[in-house]
Amino acid sequence: MSWTEERIDKLKKLWGSGKTAAEIAEELGDVTRNAVIGKANRLGLSTKSAPAAQKPKKKVIPSHRACQWPIGHPGEANFHFCGDEAVPSKPYCLKHCNMAYQSKDNS
């Protein structure tokens, strides 16, 4: 098969849309994944979106642990957890730590 202008256009579009070379090869038909990568390289398309260059996304580690203090009542539509930055080694933020541990600490 040959790279007609139409196919090259399509390759560029698909490549730009972030599809993998394998997906592009399938869309174009009658072409291998390697041929797609080779053609893309020759066209000077960004290799950033090439599958080989893709790295698994890093897990986003929250910079802080969220306060687990429940706001409202479970089952209510607006029930949620506080979500403020929790005190290290505590499940709640400072405010809710004070509420949670007040009676215990004062006894």
SS3 content of the chain, % helix, strand, coil (to 5): 45, 5, 50
Identify which range of 9-17, 28-36, 52-60, 67-75 contacts Zn ion by CB under 5 A.
Answer: 67-75
Contact 67, 81 (CB under 8 A): yes
Pairwise CA distance, residues 54 & 20, whole Å: 10
Based on the shown chain and the rule CB under 5 A, indicate whether residue 94 belongs to the binding site for Zn ion. Answer: no
Nearer to Zn ion, 13 or 64 (CB): 64
Q: Which is nearer to Zn ion, 28 or 93 (CB)?
A: 93
Q: Taking CB under 5 A as the rule, which mask of x and - marks residues 69-88 in contact with Zn ion?
A: x------------x-x----
Would you list the DSSP string of 6-21?
HHHHHHHHHHHTT--H
List binders of Zn ion among 2-41 (CB under 5 A).
none
Please report, as ranges, the residues that interact with Zn ion according to CB under 5 A: 67, 69, 82, 84, 93, 96
